[in-house]
Structure 1
Amino acid sequence: MKKLLALLLILLLSFSLVGCSNNDSTENDTANQLEDKLVIYSTHTDEMLELVAEEFKAETGIEVEYINLKGELADRVRAEKENPQADIMFGGASSLFMEMTEEGIFEPVETTWAKDLQDIFKDKDGNWYGTIQTPVMIFYNTEMLTEEEAPKDWIDLTDEKYKDLIVSRDTLSSSMRATLMSLVYQYDKEQKLDEAWNYLTALDANMKNYYSSGTLQFQAVGRKEAAISFAVQSSIVDNVVKNNVPLKIVDAKSGSPVITDGIAAIKNAPHPNAAKAFVEFAGSSKMQAKIANEFNRIPTLKEAIQNSPEWMKDSYKVMDVDWSVISKNQNEWLQKFDTEIRDANKDKAK
């Protein structure tokens, strides 16, 4: 009789454990279930966002809503920190992602391709990943300057012979901010910060205009209103190939700043599982290569570069930049440039 009771207890316990296991499995499945919607805040073009959204929906069935916030992206995400309205921050320099990581804004995500990324293209804890690498390079109109006359490095842009021959984006542009901060860092790392302000003052003196859009910037160079500028490499290539503008890129002696364009899932987002799925999807080698071929954006994954346009495989000198230092100082440095150095009379919105 005792043996029979013991056997019944064992069987009952076994069924109980199986039931608990099934319940745990059901709960985990529910927790990992993808939501039916995803909201993206981004700086990328509508055309790129539309492509990525359609591809993601085709693969997952998830509806994607995207909002292009350009220079207001970070401010919007920060303002909504306590009550996020978006799931994904897509676009912006790595220094900005580092800064916002310290503010506790992002949710770490594990991806299958993170192991293949260089350390400079990712956060060690998975708070953000770089999906696009963006060199900012000096270029000039070959109908206005010969190769001998053109600048060879960033310091050359302060030469008085280039006065009123230079134009650039204004500081609402993330690439412009990252470039200026990279140039300041070259002096800061040598503990010569005062010389950085002298450099930027001389650069501003030579600047003809600061433009509110890349289109206006390139039009100015194309119309020979200015001979020299600097912009992300892909935009320069676009204007040469698609618009037939006679531009030549300078492989600067001290190197070109390389901005890592990032992606991150927002903490406490309304659709957290869809957000994690999107980070995995958008950063994959397949999607990076597709964006490279359709929009001339250089991938961060080496595998994706092999399936990208030939010009992306060309080498160039990379400027020595510690983006973690920039992330801690950029607000102070930018404020000084905007309030004490930049001539606001040179701002052009049209």
Structure 2
Amino acid sequence: MRIRLIAALGVIVALVLGLSACGLSSGPNSVALTIYTSRPKVIAQQVVDAFEAAHPEYKGRVQMLTLGASEVLQRVRAEKNRPQADIWWGGTSQQFGQGVDASLLTPPPAEVIDRVPEQYRGADNLWLGEMRMAEVIFYNNTMLTPEQAPKDWGDLVEPDMQGKILLRDVAASGTMRSIFSALIGRAATETGAPDAGYDFLRALDRNTKDYPANPSDLYLRIQRQEAPVSIWNLQDILVQRSKGAPFTPVMPASGAPVLLDGVGKIKDGPHGETADTFLDFLLQPTTQQMLADKSFQLPTVPLEQPPSWLAEVGLNEMPVDWHTINEFEAGWMDYWVQNIKNRS
């Protein structure tokens, strides 16, 4: 009798744990949505707050983890057999392409897909481009005048820039990997081989003082005047400037790589219905207009009115063959890590 009772209790405990693991717990304070994001925390939190205001039933029940874009991909891949998150928010087309190849994603609702122009959708609509990110040069305007600041990519490898550059660590950053790959790809298009691109990155490494581990460290060290110059995405630079940072963006004369930054629904995530609701909210024109106006975002969803700051920036897009980048980025970046970084 005692053995049967213990066995019965074991079954009950297992069922309870199983239901919790599947996201079926329904208490008023239980987690209703888990997001892995590489988006700036202040911007992501602004969206989550607006989502909870629009859907009070989820107030305080959205869990968000901020990581580097490459780290998000690695974590979602590692959790494939037992997904812990529902939304993958932020990452390049290359990273989401790897997610598609690994069967990590499932399509959002059709009405959400239809809001995003077809050229900004991933394979089989398994992920959607939320915004376009221009990658530019920026500098601390208390250290350099506009005349002293670099005007184009080639200026970064001139002798007078030695020791004046800090770059976000490349290996963990989808943004930096894409910028470096675009610069290698531009050289490869002209010569048929990546060697000239490697030579450019070797010269850039010689001028680079250090590689901060994350964007927050990069901003802090530029503001502390450890070095005046860096490269990063325009949106984040403008956000930092709006908060008082002495940053001035420079649109490179030969053009800026413009990346597609995406969002996707994780396959077999624990809260699929809530994930659909969040994606519907995120990709509403009203939400994207708010992000364009307040957070300097370039949405893929068509807006009624372009943001006022866009005319000031003067967007100049570098032609980039992203299909070639997707094919060769991993090998190019492995070469950079093994043969260029801190070896110049």
TM-score after normalising by structure 2: 0.80
Q: Which residue of 1 aligns with 2:232?
A: 231
- The residue correspondences of 1:102-141 to structure 2 (distance < 5 A) are 102-112=101-111, 114-123=113-122, 125-141=124-140
Say which SS state the counterpart of residue 136 (structure 2) adopts. strand
For residues 289 and 241 of structure 1, what CA distance do their matches in structure 2 show? 18
Say which SS state the counterpart of residue 269 (structure 1) adopts. coil
Percentage of identical aligned residues: 30
Aligned 8 A contact 2:112 2:279 in 1: no
Say which SS state the counterpart of residue 90 (structure 2) adopts. strand
Aligned residue identity for 1:227: P
Aligned residue identity for 1:205: R
Q: Which residue of 2 aligns with 1:67?
A: 65
Aligned 8 A contact 2:40 2:236 in 1: no
For residues 105 and 216 of structure 1, what CA distance do their matches in structure 2 show? 31
Say which SS state the counterpart of residue 206 (structure 2) adopts. helix
1:161-181 Cα deviation digits (max 9, x unpaired): 211111111112322222111
- The residue correspondences of 1:9-48 to structure 2 (distance < 5 A) are 37-48=32-43
Which shows bigger deviation, 197-206 or 282-291? 282-291
- The residue correspondences of 1:271-286 to structure 2 (distance < 5 A) are 271-286=271-286
Deviation at 1:326, TM superposition (A): 2.0
Q: Which residue of 1 aligns with 2:323?
A: 324
1:264-287 Cα deviation digits (max 9, x unpaired): 011122222322222222122111
Deviation at 1:114, TM superposition (A): 4.0
Which shows bigger deviation, 262-271 or 195-204? 262-271
Aligned residue identity for 1:53: V
Aligned 8 A contact 1:122 1:130 in 2: yes
For residues 66 and 225 of structure 2, what CA distance do their matches in structure 1 show? 31
For residues 218 and 57 of structure 1, what CA distance do their matches in structure 2 show? 30
Deviation at 1:344, TM superposition (A): 7.8
Aligned residue identity for 1:122: R
1:112-157 Cα deviation digits (max 9, x unpaired): 3544534442225211112122211112234443434332211221
Q: Which residue of 1 aligns with 2:221?
A: 220
1:38–1:222 distance in 2 versus 1, CA, 3 Å: closer
1:185-228 Cα deviation digits (max 9, x unpaired): 11223312111111111110111111113233233333433232
Aligned residue identity for 2:33: L
Aligned residue identity for 2:62: V
Which shows bigger deviation, 135-144 or 279-288? 135-144
Say which SS state the counterpart of residue 199 (structure 1) adopts. helix
Q: Which residue of 2 aligns with 1:206?
A: 207
Q: Which residue of 2 aligns with 1:30?
A: none
Aligned residue identity for 1:50: Q
For residues 53 and 248 of structure 1, what CA distance do their matches in structure 2 show? 29
Q: Residue 51 in 1 paired to residue 46 in 2?
A: yes
For residues 115 and 320 of structure 1, what CA distance do their matches in structure 2 show? 27
Q: Which runs of 5+ in 2 are unaligned?
A: 1-25
For residues 141 and 63 of structure 2, what CA distance do their matches in structure 1 show? 42
Q: Which residue of 2 aligns with 1:23?
A: none
Say which SS state the counterpart of residue 135 (structure 1) adopts. strand
Aligned residue identity for 1:210: Y
Q: Residue 243 in 1 paired to residue 244 in 2?
A: yes
1:297-330 Cα deviation digits (max 9, x unpaired): 33222316x264x113543111112333222222
Q: Which has the larger radius of gyration?
A: 1
Aligned 8 A contact 1:110 1:126 in 2: no
For residues 223 and 69 of structure 1, what CA distance do their matches in structure 2 show? 24
Q: Which residue of 2 aligns with 1:164?
A: 163
Q: Which runs of 5+ in 1 are unaligned?
A: 1-34, 346-350
TM-score after normalising by structure 1: 0.79
For residues 219 and 317 of structure 1, what CA distance do their matches in structure 2 show? 28
Aligned 8 A contact 1:99 1:328 in 2: no
1:99-118 Cα deviation digits (max 9, x unpaired): 22122211122443544534
Give the root-mean-square deviation of aligned CA atoms: 2.5
Aligned residue identity for 1:65: Q
Report the number of matched residues.
Answer: 308
